[in-house]
A and B are shown apart, each in its own frame.
Chain A
Amino acid sequence: MSDAPAPHTRRGPLAKLADFFDDRTGYRAVVHEALYERVPGGARWRYVWGSSLVFAFITQMVTGLVLWSSYSASAQTAWESVYFIQHEMAGGWLVRGIHHVMAQAMVVLLALHLMQVVIDGAYRAPREVNFWLGLILMQLVLGMALTGYLLPWDQKGYWATRVATNLAGLVPLIGPSLQQLVVGGPDYGHHTLTRFFALHAGFLPGTLIAFLVVHLTLFRKHGLCAKQPITKPDCMFWPDQVLKDVVAMLAVLAVVLGVILLPAVRAMVEGRPIDPGELGAELGAPADPSQPYAAARPEWYFLFLFQFLKVFEGWGADGEFLGAIVVPGAVLGAMFLMPLIGRWKLGHRFNVLFTVAILVGAGLLTAMALREDYAAVWADREAYAHVEQLIEETGNDPEKIAAALGNDDTRIAEFRAEARELEAIRRSEAFFAAVEQAEADAHRAVELAGRPERIPPGGALELIRTDPLSQGPKLFAQHCSSCHAHVDPAAPEAAELLAASSAANLYRFGSAAWARGLLDPEQVAGPAYFGNTAHAEDDMVSYVTDDMSDRDSWSEEQIEAVAVALAAEAAVVGDESLDPAIVEQGRALMADEERCGSCHHAGDNETENGYAPDLAGWAGREWLIGIITNPNHERFYPETNDRMPSFGVAEEGGVPALSETQIGLIADWLRGEWYRGE
């Protein structure tokens, strides 16, 4: 203790306390040693990457620990708890945002640190072991990035992880067991989350800390590997290099915060309110194994590996094995050999070139992946119109195409090339559509989770599976759309869709607008109503076209009243302000046994059901559920059902085509009854 103060100088109580501890621990020497490291040739900016990485890691530990305290790893609570963090907890979006963006910054810093070490030859003796430790640390960081991606248990993380773990299954011999161990069983679920979480927050960072301590100790033992030649005088780590390091840390932090706050700035510029859901890390719709996710992509820094799998197109199983296991393994192996290669005369140059080549290659692959996904943005779609037309005309039959091109080989080859480009553009368009759909789904999930009733114990997936707005279109597409259209008659594509349909257009079915069309002699026999059905020549159609167009028996005002009264029976969302007086008038006309009531049961008239559908409660929830369940019921079409299946009736020993819940979802969706946020 050479710099211990002389005992006779007067010292204050604080200094005495410090002395007390120093006597017993020797901390002053430790601090001194930590701070007063000689930096040969003076402080330099190129030395800041290592400290920035340590800073990034500490940031991750702090934010990670806080996130941990609010996170719950299970298939029914992971998404839900992350939703709560992101959308409801004070500062949740900020902590999660920092954790998410800093993870990406860490990957960038790793690449920079590696470049600097290789270019400066800092892997050479005696620093070989420390270089190897660095490579291990790099893999640990990438491992944390990979495992962290799954934890929110959203569609994005779920599908990306499925691909990643399936690739792990390709490792020779132990692959399938390895995969099963990582996944926590044969299927993805609770134990996939608990295991990934244990890896992400326990095993990997724990190991990382242990290796980091050794890495830093060895670094101090060998001293800084100075950039040669040394031209400036040496300096001390504290404060000259520390200042530069701190500036670098602040720069990293500024970039991270900038990325998080960018959407807020954008919202302010556009004059929109700021939505905390937009800030920081995004949260997709809850993971659903039964819902395809066409926008599945890994995080951008793994995009090159993702793209690399496509490079081996046509190699069959070998290709995937090469792309996912062999080549990445070989590259990593070569990096481990760098210190040995570096001993050889040209070795250093080789190492630098190799590292640059790898980084450039990864960059190119990333660019390729992005270019493929975004091809539609800069493609000139018009230029391919003729290709599209020819494919459509010929049904993509190669012989017909050849004939259309006059069997001219060069023209055929040209056409093929263009067709391939067109396909790439269409794939990109499909990707955009998928991303848009994913965003809509995510938005809806968040909206539902924010309902005053909160998320049910079964989790957010239950919310979505019982949401008419999410499920209605899917169920309709699967079960109803082969006959019924569902299109706004004013939409540009309406005419084409209606012509192709073979039953009524159910867009806003039950609304006054729909009922007006039904009672319009011009429309009732058109494709939006009975035109394409077996009812095209029925009494209903002739009544509307003949009797209702006769102004002596039906005035326009009366027809309107009936339409409004029908809408009042249906009471669909959007038709809340019907005039009660008109409804009353229409109800009377409907029940009138000289008019609608001659065939239809309506109000309290005496007409029995059986000949024409019941107008009491027409298109209401119960009525709709009834007709979907069993259109042959006497309230609907016991004798004259055209082709509609009884979706809710099970044949002996079988299951009905649609469950009660599903039928309810379709009815609610058609009626516009779903939760609407503010």
Chain B
Amino acid sequence: MADPAPVPPPADARRSFLTKLMAMVGGGLATLTPVAAGVWMTLDPLRRKSSAASFLPITKLESVPDDGLPRQFPVIADRNDAWTGFAAEPIGAVYLRREQGSDTIEAVSATCPHAGCFIELDKRDRCFRCPCHNSVFTLDGGIVSPSPSPRTMDSLECEVRDGRVAVKWENYYSGIAEKVARP
């Protein structure tokens, strides 16, 4: 049923090479231009940085009882999500802990260093537990082995000034042994 394959007429080899080359380059350019523009735009998220790490006010010192048991606090900050600006939104959570009679505070992020779930406090057993893959941490964020988590909970820099607690809020890459802040 099909026609026999057309046989190209014999032609000037040099001219035919040029024709082929031009067709290929022209066609390539024509199709690659939109692709390149698309790739450029698709890569845009790589330019975006999370809000630079800064000290954010969390709470008052007296709101953290000095019983060595961590308390969870939301981290509130202005946040931009692409075109939407949120004023004073919870952007994460920290656990603050104060030893008896102490005026200093230890802060750890509630984000699990394993794969980013939300770590919860088990008051009864006095430890932290991640509900996702069962990582367990001590109250100061130390690792309880064996654990799926590659490192301890991420401690955050914490400042107490005039009875107010501020924490340097940062996000870290999960799943690796070192604590590396995201840009």
Contacts and interface: CB of A to CB of B under 8 A. Distances in A.
Given A186-B48, A320-B175, A655-B57, A163 B90 contact: no
A186 B171 contact: yes
A186 B116 contact: no
A233 interface: no
Nearest to B48: A185
A23 B147 CA distance: 72
Interface in A47-106: 75-76
Contacts of A190: 81-84
A617 interface: no
A412 interface: no
Contacts of A317: 150-151, 175-177
Nearest to A26: B1
Given A163-B116, A310-B148, A396-B125, A75 B84 contact: yes
Interface residues of B, number: 58
B7 interface: no
B98 interface: no
Interface string A139-176: 00000000000000000000100110011011000001
A290 B93 contact: yes
A319 interface: yes
Interface in A631-678: 645, 651, 653-655, 657
A292 B118 contact: yes
B131 interface: yes
Contacts of B27: none
A295 B90 CA distance: 21
A325 B24 CA distance: 39
A187 B177 contact: no
Nearest to A652: B162
Contacts, number: 143
A132 B114 CA distance: 34
Contacts of B16: none
A162 B45 contact: no
A189 B81 contact: yes
Interface string A498-512: 000000000000000
A108 B162 CA distance: 61
A180 B47 CA distance: 10
Interface string B164-175: 100000010111
Contacts of B120: 292, 294
Interface in B100-150: 110, 114-120, 125-126, 129, 131-134, 145-148, 150
B140 to A, nearest CB: 16
A289 B90 contact: yes
B65 interface: yes
Contacts of A431: 131
Contacts of A478: 71-72
A321 B150 CA distance: 10
Nearest to A2: B1
Interface residues on A, range: 35 or more
A427 B46 contact: no
A313 B134 CA distance: 9
A181 B45 contact: yes
A191 B47 CA distance: 14
A657 B63 CA distance: 8
A128 B163 CA distance: 71
A367 interface: no
Contacts of B183: 186
B116 A162 contact: yes
A482 B134 contact: no
B84 to A, nearest CB: 7
A187 B81 contact: yes
A67 B118 CA distance: 31
A184 B45 contact: yes
Interface of A: 29, 75-76, 159, 162-163, 166-167, 169-170, 176-177, 180-181, 183-187, 189-191, 289-296, 306, 309-310, 312-314, 316-317, 319-321, 324, 396, 427, 430-431, 434, 478-479, 482, 645, 651, 653-655, 657
24 contacts: A163-B132, A166-B175, A169-B173, A169-B174, A176-B182, A180-B48, A184-B45, A186-B45, A187-B79, A190-B82, A190-B84, A191-B45, A290-B92, A292-B118, A309-B148, A314-B145, A324-B175, A396-B126, A430-B131, A431-B131, A479-B63, A655-B57, A657-B59, A657-B63
Interface of B: 1, 42-43, 45-46, 48-50, 57, 59-60, 62-63, 65, 71-72, 74, 79, 81-84, 90-93, 110, 114-120, 125-126, 129, 131-134, 145-148, 150-151, 162-164, 171, 173-177, 182-183
The 10 closest A-B pairs by CB, nearest first: A314-B146, A290-B90, A292-B118, A189-B81, A317-B150, A186-B50, A294-B131, A317-B177, A185-B48, A163-B115
Given A190-B82, A651-B163, A654-B57, 16 more contacts: A75-B81, A163-B132, A169-B173, A169-B175, A170-B175, A170-B176, A181-B43, A186-B50, A290-B90, A291-B118, A295-B131, A296-B132, A314-B146, A320-B148, A320-B175, A482-B65
